[in-house]
A and B are shown apart, each in its own frame.
Chain A
Amino acid sequence: MNSDQPPSPGRERPLTIVVSGLSSDAHTWNLVYLQLVLEELGHVVTNLGACLGEEELAARCRAIAPDLIALSSVNGHGYRDGRRAIAALRQCPALVTTPVVIGGKLDTVGGDPTMAGELLDAGFDAVFTEAGALAAFRSFVACVAGAGDGQGRASVTSPVGA
């Protein structure tokens, strides 16, 4: 957190990233895949795995103090579980400005158009549910990596699909 040495624009640094599932979601292939994607981009990933309750998620993230938290869910409950998770994370003073994103299949019907907006309102920095979600997620990560402290959230637009 060295504020007198701003990073040069476009220059990416390795991020410490937490990848996690949500409280009721048992799926893990999405998490294994995300971990590999992020590691191949040169980032350091802690994969917290499946069925993580929001309290434990917040406690682990406080301890790790990551540059980015990526939540992934595909069981259709992500919309609700995600809001619980973000509330718990944003309650931690240390995690108030940490970029937190969510992606996957977040509802049971396949793409409720109002869902992404509500998740953003709840405190997520981006929501990835569309076909091109992975490319958008990679761009987001690159922005965070290139932006340096405090710049990440301001410099990205949230790639929310319809």
Chain B
Amino acid sequence: MPAAAVSFGALVSRRQAEGTLVVQPRMGFADPAKMRAGLIAVKRARACTAGTITLDSYTRVGDQAAVRAALERRDDLNGYPIVGHGAATTRAVTRGVADRDFPVQVRHGSADPRPIVATLLACGLDATEGGPVSYCLPYSRTPLAASVEYWRQTCEMLAAARAPGREPHLETFGGCMMGQLCPPALLVALSVLEGLFFVQHGLRSISLSYAQQTSADQDAEAVTALRRLAAELLPGVQSHIVIYGYMGVYPCTASGARRLLAASARLAVATGAARLIVKTSAEAFRIATIEENVQALEDAARTAAVAARAPEAATPGDTGIYAQALALVSAVLNLADDVGRALLRAFRRGYLDVPYCLHPDNAGRSRGYLDPAGRLQWQRTGSMPIRHLAPAPARPPMTSAGLLDSLSFIQREFDQAALARPAAS
């Protein structure tokens, strides 16, 4: 079988049992030689890493004509066009690099990942990520019902590739939703629901994501709630938690970016997550280079190792994230036995309603806001069944200045601290 015939999930679980956080970049280049160089550099980084092939936006939206035109003109793309390059080229990219100790995951962002997953399976790869909701609502115009069907077929395709020594792995992207201003309970609920969807359609090895938000305490509570719900609702499934380094507006200062990355690594260790997707100090300006990615991986691994030796024993408080997430998940699961159908009904009824999401299938009646302590709170819960759990205060509607202020909260906090303490950089 292909060089990459190793279970992504099993390897990450083994590393977790050894007490080591797996760190992974977001990295994709249009040029196969550069993509291979990037994977080799990640493998050689002084950190316990998994490799990533991040795809370009044209492949994500299925615009193969644009991919071909760009490749012919040698235009740059913002990721690796796996379908356009095809299986033979991609096998050459991963040959001798992807192996038992270095699994490679394909990250794509597509509401219809069928051609992508067919290609990655043909390349001997079997780890990827996304979800019927998380790669539809924020990132596409695809009707949610179509996305649910595409993702059902995708899950079945992945499950059918199971073989001795090969356990396909799928990670939910539901813990990110818009990256910012979505109160954590909804992130947790969507991550769990997408995990349930994957398992219902044949996956046996999954990971549940949570994207670092604006408050370390709140994030710790949210990830703890996610782990608890996973244990309760996904028993017997090989699963781990993956943390995404902050996905919103990134600090502009190098030291601010480093401190934010370090905070994500500490969050991962403190909450028992097994894997961390890092961000780089170049994030505020452009797509990161290979070297910047390696630097971020090594920085994160170092911080995680220190944190693991001196664990912050503090148990996170309970402000009700678990109760809200459980109420959301339960309300959705009560709508149908089939998780996909339940998700469709839930969005139609507004039981799930992602703040600031412009997709036509999202009710768009909910709003989140940042309180003065930097915690994400509900301003409006729309028709979501959590009104009794999340009293929303009367607040003036969000202005453009208020939105910008909220979106740049983390950037401001970390840059200001960096500028106030230049020696710390």
Give A residues with C-beta under 8 Å from B.
23-26, 28-29, 31-33, 36-37, 40, 47, 49-52, 56, 75-77, 80, 105, 107-110
**Does B359 make an interface contact (CB < 8 A)?**
yes
Contact B403 A26, beta carbon cutoff 8 Å: no
Contact A109 B286, beta carbon cutoff 8 Å: yes
**Nearest chain B CB to A112 CB, angstrom units:** 10
Q: Which of B70, B139, B286, B404 contacts A80 (CB 8 A)?
A: B70
Contact B75 A80, beta carbon cutoff 8 Å: yes
CB-CB nearest in chain A for B249: A29
**Does B60 make an interface contact (CB < 8 A)?**
yes
Contact A36 B78, beta carbon cutoff 8 Å: no
CA distance A107 to B138 in the complex (A): 22
Contact B138 A28, beta carbon cutoff 8 Å: yes
Known contacts being A32-B358, A40-B400, A108-B287, is A24 close to B407, with CB within 8 Å? no
Mostly helix, strand, loop or mixed at chain B's interface?
A: loop
CA distance A50 to B360 in the complex (A): 11
CA distance A108 to B139 in the complex (A): 19
A-B contact pairs, 23 of them (CB 8 A): A23-B61, A24-B57, A25-B57, A26-B60, A28-B138, A29-B178, A32-B356, A32-B403, A33-B400, A47-B358, A49-B359, A50-B359, A51-B61, A51-B141, A75-B78, A76-B78, A76-B286, A77-B57, A80-B70, A108-B77, A108-B286, A109-B286, A110-B286
CB-CB nearest in chain B for A79: B75
Contacting residues of chain B (371-409) with chain A, CB-CB under 8 angstroms: 398-400, 403-404, 407
- Binary A-proximity of B40-71 (CB < 8 A = 1, otherwise 0): 00000000000000000110110100100010
Known contacts being A26-B140, A29-B180, is A108 close to B76, with CB within 8 Å? yes
**Does B357 make an interface contact (CB < 8 A)?**
yes
Contact A24 B356, beta carbon cutoff 8 Å: no
7 further interface pairs, Cβ-Cβ under 8 Å (given A26-B139, A29-B407, A50-B358): A28-B358, A36-B400, A49-B141, A56-B141, A77-B78, A80-B75, A105-B286
Complex contacts, B70 vs chain A, CB 8 Å? 80
Complex contacts, A105 vs chain B, CB 8 Å? 286
CA distance A105 to B76 in the complex (A): 14
CA distance A106 to B287 in the complex (A): 12
